[in-house]
Amino acid sequence: MRILIFEFVTGGGLIEQPLPPSLLQEAYLMRNALMDDLSAIPTVELLVLQDYRVAMPYYANLQCLRIEQGTVLTHYLHEVQDLYDAVWLIAPETEGILLAWCRFFSAQAKPLCTAAEVAVALCQDKLQTIQCLNQAGIACVPTQRYSTSVPAQGHWVLKNNHSVGCDEVYLLQSAQDWQTVSAQLKEGNDYIIQPYIVGQAMSLSCLFADGKAYFICCNEQHVQVEQRQFILHACTVHVQAERASAYQQLCAAIAAAMPDLFAYVGIDFMLTETGECLVLEINPRLTSSYAGIKAALGINVAAEVLRLMNNELPILTKTRERAVHIAINKGVPHAR
């Protein structure tokens, strides 16, 4: 099988724009980890889209499709579509980017190694996702649409309803915070608010297919607040192994509520001081935690996704178990 990896940030999605440092490190982590997993599968031929400004590791079975400035990416992908059989897409939900590219490759009749249009359309809307999960009886962080009528008291988290990661996620603890952040909000964006929950920011890594879930591991997200904005600095992959049964049950409930989820999915949640899991959002794509799974558990997740695509059950046998720390905000290599 000839698989095209299209990681949006490093693969030419921003060819006419500056590469944002806030996203670039995570993009490298996810892309390189995926390349490492897929290159280890003998039956896979690997093609990777490469923005001319970014570095690319060497693999013997890798063909780089270099994107130069001035390239219209959609036109280019139409020209080279005979080179690949399937697509592994990694893109932000912001401004509907992930959804648009799902639709593009579906129009090419290329199988996606990721969740398709229906699941992505739901998950890119955080408020709609929470409402769907609540209807299924799944505990979530209380969420409502932001408006200026919300009392400026108490501790709240305000976020872009269609953002990715910590982009436009703010902590509001005073009237001054409300005033300052409100002035920064971008016209036309849709915002939601949630009460600030004291606890640990966590995520689950899981595989989904046909309304079923296959839990892989739980991860701790190391988040700090800087100038009222949340920043993800690192994550620790494979923690709280003793809660695996409870996390499998949560993933199974989400699979039943959202049966169109497919392949690797990240689930962000808050673990409260009383041990309750409150879901924050669903990421229907690779997340930064993916980069540590092979080192933590010895599992080649990409190989298991290909099994799902062949209507086979995944084999999540662990050959090791350890916690792996993944740094996010560090300098990243550039092509020279």
Answer whether residue 333 shows pLDDT above 70.
no
pLDDT for residue 330: 52
The predicted model gives 4-10 an average pLDDT of 97
Please, which pLDDT band fits residue 336 given cuts at 50, 70 and 90?
A: very low
What DSSP assignment string belongs to 228-280?
Answer: TEEEEEEEEEEE-GGGHHHHHHHHHHHHHH-TT--EEEEEEEEEETTS-EEEE
Which H or E element spans position 97? helix 97-107
CA 281 – CA 41 distance, rounded (Å):
31
Please, which pLDDT band fits residue 173 given cuts at 50, 70 and 90?
A: confident
For 108-141, what is each residue's pLDDT tens digit? 999 999 999 999 999 999 999 999 999 999 999 9
Query: What is residue 138's three-state secondary structure?
Result: coil
- Side-chain-side CA neighbours of residue 54 (13 Å): 32
Contacts for 116 with CB less than 8 Å, ≥ 6 apart: 102, 106, 260, 262
pLDDT for residue 150: 63
CATH topology of domain 2-114: Rossmann fold (3.40.50)
CA 251 – CA 265 distance, rounded (Å):
10
Residue 1 near residue 86 (C-beta atoms within 8 A): yes
Name the least confident of 65-69, 140-144, 161-165. 161-165
Please, which pLDDT band fits residue 164 given cuts at 50, 70 and 90?
A: confident
CATH topology of domain 123-138+198-327: D-amino Acid Aminotransferase; Chain A, domain 1 (3.30.470)
Q: Counting Cβ atoms within 10 Å, is residue 114 exposed (0-12), middle (13-18) or buried (19+)?
A: buried
CATH number of 144-195: 3.30.1490
- Equal fold, 123-138+198-327 vs 144-195: no
135 phi and psi angles, rounded to 5 deg: -65, -25
Packing angle, helices 301-309 and 21-39, rounded to 10: 70
The predicted model gives 82-98 an average pLDDT of 94
pLDDT for residue 67: 97
pLDDT for residue 329: 64
Name the least confident of 8-22, 175-189, 229-243. 175-189
Q: Which of 275, 284, 220 is nearest to 255 (CA)?
A: 284
For 27-63, what is each residue's pLDDT tens digit? 999 999 999 999 999 999 999 999 999 989 888 889 9
Q: Which residue has the tokens 């990416």?
A: 73
Q: Counting Cβ atoms within 10 Å, is residue 82 exposed (0-12), middle (13-18) or buried (19+)?
A: exposed
Name the least confident of 44-48, 68-72, 144-148, 240-244. 144-148
For 264-314, what is each residue's pLDDT tens digit? 999 999 999 999 999 999 999 999 999 999 999 999 999 999 999 999 999
Domain ranges within the chain, ordered by starting residue: 2-114, 123-138+198-327, 144-195
pLDDT for residue 335: 37
For 228-269, what is each residue's pLDDT tens digit? 888 888 999 999 999 999 999 999 999 999 999 999 999 999
What DSSP assignment string belongs to 16-46?
Answer: TSPPPHHHHHHHHHHHHHHHHHHHT-TT-EE
Q: Which amino acid is at 156?
A: W
